[in-house]
Structure 1
Amino acid sequence: MLPSQTSSPYQAPVTPLHPAPAPVRRPAPWLPMNRAEMKRLGWDECDIVLVTGDAYVDHPSFGMAIIGRLLESRGFRVGIISQPDWNSAEPFKALGRPRLFFGVTGGNLDSMVNRYTSDRKLRSDDAYTAGGEGGKRPDRCTIVYTQRCREAYKDVPVILGGIEASLRRIAHYDYWSDKVRRSILADAKADLLLYGNAERAVVEVAERIAAGETAKEITDVRGVALFRKVPEGFTEIPVDDIDSPDEGARRTGFDTVIRLPSFEQVEKDKDAYARASRVLHREANPGNARALVQRHGDRDLWLNPPPIPLTTEEMDAVYDLPYARAPHPDYGDAKIPAWDMIKTSVTIMRGCFGGCTFCSITEHEGRKIQSRSEASILREIENIRDKTPGFAGVISDVGGPTANMYRMACKDPKIEAACRLPSCVFPDICPNLDTSHDDLIRLYRKVREVKGVKKVMVASGVRYDLAVTSPEYVEELVTHHVGGYLKIAPEHTERGPLDVMMKPGIGTYDRFKEMFDAAAKKAGKKYYLIPYFIAAHPGTTDEDMMNLALWLKKNKYRADQVQTFLPSPMATATAMYHTGVNTLKAVRRGGNEAVETVRRGRQRRLHKAFLRYHDPENWPLLREALKSMGRADLIGSKPHQLVPATQPGAAKASARNPSGRPNSRARTFTTKGVPFPKGPKGPTKKR
């Protein structure tokens, strides 16, 4: 029968996240990782055991710490199994049988993104592991961990969460296997999947299981994916109707569900995959999103609408939980690189309405900005000051997914609830968007006044297209919150790839740089902007990369490290990479707008080489490419030319090796004496 409004995921009662007024028990110093710690706490069992691919750091920048402390605040006994040996089920029995369920997460990153480079090469290190040691988690660790949990206690429910599960919640293209894979819920054989920031969902699921419901009976919680039949009375909308002119008016209501192409269809038909991706991203606004259903074999995968964003009070409650703000003592003195990087940083907001197609923030956290109060942020800074060993008075970052979207929102809640656009700032800033930086400027000034704080940095990505709307913000930022250089991400200079990325034109960067330089001069500072660029993104031609290289040389930029596009699961750009179709436009059977994709190894290397035009090791490849492009005029030593005609030391190498055959010495180059102008150096952004 048709669910009532009270049981519908569209209108289910919102579970508040404020901690219980009278805690059942005192918070644990750390959530226990072994039986000895459980015994000290007086526990004979855990209600919930969280299994994670990261080292356990009890800090609100680590997902398992947030979920664990939140469940603890609701009276649940929560234990953590961190980076278990996955070769047997025994490590998954370390805390005994959980009374309610296992919660499994791959960690703060997708395990494949964490373990492999954009060139599919194995990484030797892992920033989320003690000592930075690589190899402490398996490939697709969410699947492996779930299987071991089942082997350990086959009758205990398993619930998936975290970014790996979130970004693989439907059938998705997997770059590392170069094929479309089923929903991770199907491959892991778990009971439920919680996607997005799942605080509200995990509390409701835990409380309902504790009250006697089975996991598979919990069908009406937002942000939940599960296998179920489409209930009687629901109207199914074919995916091909989504872009019809009257679709928005006809196809709304609490009793509708959109039928995506099945896994079997999207596996074989790239146009079907492109349609599924377009619909998934259109149905991302919690104010109007409808449930999605996708057939996998003989079962229907059901995705309830996205979770309702947290209020400021709820965000404060999450970040005010009693975190130890340190790695678990079991790690001893071993450094955890990710912890070292964020231990004096503060998250002030979540979400991003930028909609960059290569980024996973929108798919995971959503477009709506969720901001903390000034009071909560100031309390955390005081905690950092008081609890961080060796604190030197520097807050390393005040930001979030972006630095300067704090408290920004649509001017009209009704327009916001009805909007299906993927970005609020592309192709131009929406006139309904309130871009005031006043709240953020006031926050910066209050943070600087905290006793014991000497410097507050802003290291998160600044959206310069928003910043140029507020000269006062740029001046505040440069005068007080920059240390030597500021990294920002224009990503490219050419309109073709920028349109596919949904990024502003390079002219906006130029305006920001003028404002930045003027503010630095006024403050008597010598600061640099370090722009990030990306190679081999869908929509990018060889000519685009050549023009970007010429821009870099003209502006005297030399990137030390560069990033080649990595097709992360479920991102819009990944759908374009896989299908060759522009999913930002209407997608139907045949006749879709094509997108240039860079898939071959040599072309990917060429695009990366253009970003490092100054590296002699790239000159042979660039010379060959420039000749084939009819741009041999760019080969030479004149200021307007991109690469020299010969390699450094070529004459000496030829004299040492008259046969002309290659040898190791001839392939070893030095940049000494190369007539390239020097400029500020800096790494590009890792994604």
Structure 2
Amino acid sequence: MNGFLPISKQEMADIGWYYCDFLLITGDAYIDHPSFGTAVISRVLEDAGYRVAILSQPDFRSEADILAMGRPRYAVLINGGNIDSMVAHYTAAKKRRSDDAYTPGGKAGKRPDRAVTVYAMLARRAFPDVPVYLGGIEASLRRFAHYDYWADRVMPSILESTGADGLMFGMGEHSVLELAANLKHGKKGAAACAGVRGTAYLAHDAEGLSFPAVECPSFEEVCANKPAYARSVKLQYDEQDHVRGKALVQRHGKRVLIQNPPALPLTTAEMDHVYGLPYMRTYHPSYEAEGGVPAIQEVQFSIIHNRGCFGACNFCALAFHQGRYIQSRSHESVIAEAKQIVQMPGFKGYIHDVGGPTANFRAPACKQQEEHGLCKNKRCLFPSACKNLEADHTDYLNLLRELRQLEGIKKVFVRSGLRYDYMMADHNDAFFRELVEHHISGQLKVAPEHMSDNALYYMGKPSFSVYEQFRERYARINQKLGRKQYLVPYLMSSHPGATLDDAILLAEYLNKVGYMPEQVQDFYPTPGTLSTAMYYTGIDPRTMQPVFVAKTAEEKAMQRALLQWRRPDKRPIVLAALKKAGREDLIGFGKECLIRPARGEKPPAAAKKQPAAAHRTGKGGTHRPPAPKKKGWAKAKKKK
């Protein structure tokens, strides 16, 4: 046998199985690597003594592929893949993507839209008497009634639409083992989820719950009333904590959705064990004839050392899925994985990343979180770093030092998300200096997202002044080291709260520092985030105050075009945006102008510079974003 879990009835027979305990259906190709949820959950169950078979990207037009695997003894487990199937298929403009990195050969079309829903219905038809449980990001973010961007309406819990017996949200190692034990001991259906942290299920009533509970507005109410929807989302976020979080109840017609509190985080020893399981660290060999699976390229020689993110940006699903509490692996565990990577075929001495959701988090934000959980109405880094925050990179720095000393390793990179605001809260330059010296390759990518404090407030990001300080500190360290390395910012357009004036301010800033991004991410309203609630309701769930939302194609196109004002194809819409905003002073021949008049055309004679709009800060005051102190935001290297 090749070391992978079986993916067909024939492979089951080859290892002497005539049945499996769990059939795991996934929307991705089968990649046995700890960066993929399917691999982790299947190996955790295998380690506990269960037989797990994998059915990857089955034919979604009939249940034939599912039937061919044979009836599992305990349950069918279903996930849509490592990313939401709708995000995998569509851009923020709802245009169909032409490829799929999680499919053999990168081909699109191997999984259906709303893969979890389709697979669950097929599994029900194939095995009517076998329990069906959902997991992964697609199910996790749809566990409550939620706004669906692609359908442009509020949809019920995915449990209601699929008829599944329950779902596991967040990182599911504890939940799936407890659920499996309940099934093994004779519990069936939704009853197997009762009392299991990190699960949700539908019931006829909310009697006899194992945890204290609070009630959300019902599905019917959030469909009819946008303020109720905003309140519901805020309540769901408030209880997303393993220490103080309560069970949540949301009525769906005659039934009740019950979400138990989040699962307890893995201890360091438990996390070490999970990442030490016998992963093959690549895709199943059956995909070789199709050219392999592109998704492995970014992670095959990378290491995940942590989980969770207390940064909790409003547009990011991490806080609602993994949670804000940080879990980390031991140095010994990470080093053991690095030594394993060194022995892999194709390894050329470069660890591509030592990261996670946020690379430079190794411990909870403060000691209070261990006993009391995360603060209910406060953020660790927004609107500024909390006074109780323990910003210390010593442990992470020591880990990186140990890794780069290993025989066979030439370079250790850090490429996944670095929280620059957390780095700025650490006044010791040691980590910053060694990061610049040893762990980047010519450029450092970070995510300020915007420069307007108004937009940043609604994103849940710190003031732009923090980024400016970071940029100057980065330049200073590079100068001391004699390096010429670049800073590449990720930027977002059309986030709720961001106006046309905000986009113009950002364009002015980029013009002043001499940088135009090659790519700009339009805000993507994915299920379950605070920002998506703002997009749908026009209400900020944190304050219940109105918020501007750019929804029309024209509004979104204008904000995006302003960030790429130099592109000739953007010229007409940039002109229209400047005229609409009354900023014709930016049409001319001066250095501060964003665009020149057409040949033979004079700049608008009456154009006068308009005052910058006031910008809200996290404390509700006003603040005009500071002008940059220095010019020369270095550009990314051009490809030769």
Same fold (TM over 0.5): yes
Aligned residues of 2:496 and 2:531 also touching (Cα < 8 A): yes
Residue 262 of structure 2, aligned match among 306, 313, 322: 306
1:359 and 2:291 aligned: no
* 1:112 corresponds to 2:86: yes
Aligned to 2:442: 484
Match of 2:201 among 223, 226, 229: 226
Match of 2:285 in 1: 329
Question: Is 1:176 matched with 2:150?
Answer: yes
Match of 1:559, SS? coil
1:88 Cα deviation from its structure 2 partner: 0.5
- For 2:300 and 2:435, the matched residues in 1 are separated by 22
Contact (CA 8 Å) 2:206, 2:258: kept in 1 or not?
Answer: no
Letter in 1 for 2:338: I
Q: Which residue of 2 aligns with 1:498?
A: 456
* Residue equivalent to 1:264: 220
Question: Which deviates more, 432-441 or 535-544?
Answer: 432-441
Secondary structure, counterpart of 2:62 in structure 1: coil
Residue aligned with 1:102, SS: strand
What letter matches 2:487 in structure 1?
L
How far does the alpha carbon of each residue in 1:541-584 deviate from its partner, in whole angstroms, 9 at most, with x for none?
A: 10000000111111111211111000010100000000001111
Preserved contact between residue 129 and residue 336 of structure 1 (Cα < 8 Å): yes
Instruction: State the partner residue of 1:297.
Output: 253
Q: Which amino acid aligns with 1:93?
A: L
**Paired residue for 1:53?**
27
Amino acid in structure 1 at the alignment position of 2:390: D
Deviations 1:585-616 (A, max 9, x none): 2xxxxxx4111101000000111101111111
Paired with 1:107 and 1:480, the residues of 2 have a C-alpha distance of: 34
Residue 420 (structure 1) aligned to one of 368, 371, 376 = 376
Deviations 1:311-332 (A, max 9, x none): 1111101100000111001101
Runs of 4+ in structure 1 over 6 Å off: none
C-alpha contact 1:282 1:422 (8 A) present in aligned 2:
no
How big is the shift at 1:229?
4.1
Q: Report SS of the residue matched to 2:545.
A: coil
Residues 487, 636 of structure 2: 8 Å contact kept: no
Amino acid at match of 2:592: H
Q: 2:342 aligns with which of 385, 396, 400?
A: 385
Between the aligned partners of 1:512 and 1:318, the Cα distance in structure 2 is: 36
Paired with 1:67 and 1:680, the residues of 2 have a C-alpha distance of: 42
Instruction: Report what 1:566 is aligned to.
Output: 524
Query: Cα offset for 1:421?
Result: 3.0
Indicate the residue corresponding to 2:550 in structure 1: 598
1:142 is aligned, of 112, 116, 119, to 116
Q: Distance in 2 between matches of 1:131 and 1:678?
A: 38
Select the residue among 307, 329, 332 that pairs with 1:350: 307
The alignment status of 1:196 with 2:170, answered yes or no, reads yes
Instruction: Tell me how far apart the structure 2 counterparts of residues 418 and 531 of structure 1 sit (CA, whole Å).
Output: 29
Distance 1:185 1:518 in 2: 53
Match of 2:593 among 638, 641, 654: 641
User: Which residue of structure 2 aligns with residue 216 of structure 1?
Assistant: 190
* Contact 1:561–1:682 (Cα < 8 Å) also in 2: no
The amino acid across from 1:628 in the alignment is K
Q: Relative to structure 2, which stretch is displaced further, 160-169 or 413-422?
A: 413-422
Q: Deviations over 1:342-399 (max 9, x none)?
A: 1111101010001100000111100000100000001111111112x21110000111
CA contact (8 A) 2:326 2:364 kept: yes
Which shows bigger deviation, 405-414 or 573-582?
405-414
**Aligned position for 1:626:** 578
- Structure 1 residues 532 and 230 mapped into 2: Cα distance closer, same or farther (>3 Å)? same
| Structure 2 counterpart SS, 1:94 | helix
Give the superposition deviation at 1:644. 1.5
- Alpha-carbon distance in 2 for matches of 1:126, 1:281: 31
TM-fit CA distance, 1:130? 1.1
Rounded Cα–Cα distance in structure 2 between residues aligned with 1:346 and 1:407: 17
Corresponding residue of 1:77: 51
* Residue 232 of structure 1: how far off its partner (Å): 4.0
1:56 alignment partner AA:
Y
**Equivalent position amino acid for 2:286 in 1:** D
**1:13-162 alignment to 2 at 5 Å?**
29-162=3-136
SS of 2:69's equivalent?
A: coil
Q: Conserved in 2, the CA contact under 8 Å of 1:558 and 1:681?
A: no
Equivalent AA in structure 2 for residue 330 of structure 1: S
Report the alpha carbon displacement of residue 408 of structure 1 after superposing the two structures with TM: 3.9
1:584 and 2:542 are equivalent in the alignment: yes
Letter in 2 for 1:118: A
Structure 2 distance, partners of 1:455, 1:625, is 46
In the alignment, the residues of structure 2 paired with residue 477 and residue 646 of structure 1 have an alpha-carbon distance, to the nearest angstrom, of 46
1:581 is aligned with what amino acid? I
Q: What is the identity, as a one-letter code, of the residue corresponding to 1:490?
A: P
Aligned to 1:447: 403
Secondary structure, aligned partner of 2:214? strand
Runs of 5+ consecutive residues of structure 1 not aligned to the other structure: 1-26, 235-253, 586-591, 651-676
Question: What does residue 367 of structure 2 align with?
Answer: 411
Any idea what SS the aligned residue of 1:406 has? coil
- What is the SS of the residue equivalent to 1:324? coil
- Give the Cα–Cα distance (whole angstroms) in 1 for the partners of residues 61 and 374 of structure 2: 49
Please, which of 549, 553, 557 is the counterpart of residue 507 of structure 2?
Answer: 549
CA displacement at 1:630 relative to structure 2:
1.5
| CA deviation string 1:297-340 (max 9, x = no partner) | 11001010111111111110110000011100110151322111
CA 1:415–1:371: 2 relative to 1, 3 Å = same
Q: Deviations over 1:187-217 (max 9, x none)?
A: 0110011000011000111122012111322
- The TM-score normalised by the length of structure 1 is 0.86
Distance in 2 (CA, whole Å) between partners of 1:232 and 1:330 is 49
Q: Which moved more, 1:166-175 or 1:512-521?
A: 512-521
Give per-residue Cα distances to partners, 1:264-292, cap 9 Å, x unaligned.
Answer: 11011101101101101111111111111
Confirm or deny: 8 A CA contact 2:364 2:370 kept in the other structure: no
Cα-to-partner distance string for 1:14-71 (whole Å, 9 max, x where unaligned): xxxxxxxxxxxxx971010112211121111111010000010000001000000110
Letter in 1 for 2:241: N
Distance 1:75 1:564, change over 3 A: same
Kindly indicate whether the alpha-carbon contact (under 8 Å) linking 1:558 and 1:678 is maintained by their aligned counterparts in 2.
no
1:224 is matched by which residue type in structure 2? Answer: T
Q: Would you say how many aligned residue pairs link Structure 1 and Structure 2?
A: 605
CA–CA separation in structure 2 for the residues paired with 1:571 and 1:439 = 31
Give, in angstroms, the shift of residue 428 of structure 1: 1.6
Amino acid at match of 1:131: G
In structure 2, the gaps of 5 or more residues are 602-631
Alpha-carbon distance in structure 2 between the residues aligned to 1:622 and 1:123:
26
Residue 680 of structure 1: aligned partner: 635
Pick closer, same or farther for the CA change 1:526–1:436 going to 2, 3 Å.
Answer: same
Q: State the alpha-carbon separation in 2 of the partners of residues 89 and 233 from structure 1.
A: 37
Contact kept? 1:49, 1:101, Cα under 8 Å: yes
Amino acid at match of 1:226: Y
Percent of counterpart pairs with the same letter? 45
C-alpha separation in 1, matches of 2:590 and 2:492: 27
Q: Secondary structure at the match of 1:433?
A: coil
Letter in 1 for 2:161: D
The structural deviation recorded for 1:94 is: 2.8
Q: Distance in 2 between matches of 1:369 and 1:462?
A: 14
Q: In structure 1, what is the equivalent of residue 352 of structure 2?
A: 396
2:197 aligned counterpart, secondary structure? coil
Change (3 A) 1:682 1:487: farther
Residue aligned with 1:410, SS: coil
Secondary structure at the residue paired with 2:384? coil
Q: Is the 8 A contact 2:487 2:633 kept in 1?
A: no
> What amino acid sits opposite 1:220 in the alignment?
G
Contact 2:325/2:374 (8 A) holds in 1 = no
